[in-house]
Chains A and B, each alone.
Chain A
Amino acid sequence: AQSVTQLGSHVSVSEGALVLLRCNYSSSVPPYLFWYVQYPNQGLQLLLKYTSAATLVKGINGFEAEFKKSETSFHLTKPSAHMSDAAEYFCAASGYSTLTFGKGTMLLVSP
């Protein structure tokens, strides 16, 4: 069974600082991997996906993630945080028909 681990339930950064949200997956076969963002009282919005093409994936709002098979990681980064990035971020791995989500990381951005 797949599992997804997100290190750190909360990450705090200053506006303009680098954002790094960590995700590790556990799977016998590299799955498709996704990052979603959730704003309060809203559904999840797809940020980016890895589907075994390029290992460095670019998404919306300036986010990108790098798939590293040797580390079973898919960390999310953004060079410069903006106040509007404050939200909860979920990493997910796909099976044939389901997504397995991590517990989420709340990103806090201070001025």
Chain B
Amino acid sequence: DTGVSQDPRHKITKRGQNVTFRCDPISEHNRLYWYRQTLGQGPEFLTYFQNEAQLEKSRLLSDRFSAERPKGSFSTLEIQRTEQGDSAMYLCASSPGGRTSSSYEQYFGPGTRLTVT
């Protein structure tokens, strides 16, 4: 049973650089979510996909943030022109589709910790 995987686990970058994170969901899950978690806070929803369609992106923090899921499998989250305030843990989660209660269960990856210097 392979869970949600994220790569890289840690990323250190200089302010102004672009970074891209990858998430591979559980293989049979067609929903994929991105969250940001800062120190002392719970995860904050950013965006989600149903298969390859991005159904909610209004909560992305700024136009420097973008996400893709081109083939409905893995997803990438890109941050352009990083700022020190972008330093956080970026979490990916996936869930089954459908209308049962199980479709609301989100399974999280280990996260990518971003440090912007």
Q: Is the CB of A97 within 8 A of B55?
A: yes
Q: Is the CB of A102 within 8 A of B42?
A: yes
Report if A67 contacts B (CB, 8 A): no
Q: Is the CB of A97 within 8 A of B43?
A: no
Known contacts A99-B43, A104-B42: does B106 contact A43 (CB below 8 Å)? no
Report if A61 contacts B (CB, 8 A): no
| A residues 78-102 in Cβ contact with B at 8 Å | 90, 92, 94, 97-102
Instruction: Collect the chain B residues with CB atoms within 8 Å of residue A42's CB.
Output: 110-111
| B residues 89-115 in Cβ contact with A at 8 Å | 91, 93, 101, 104-111, 113
Q: How far is the CB of B96 from chain A (nearest CB, A)?
A: 13
A-binding residues in B (CB < 8 A): 4, 6, 31, 33, 35, 40-45, 48, 55-56, 59, 91, 93, 101, 104-111, 113
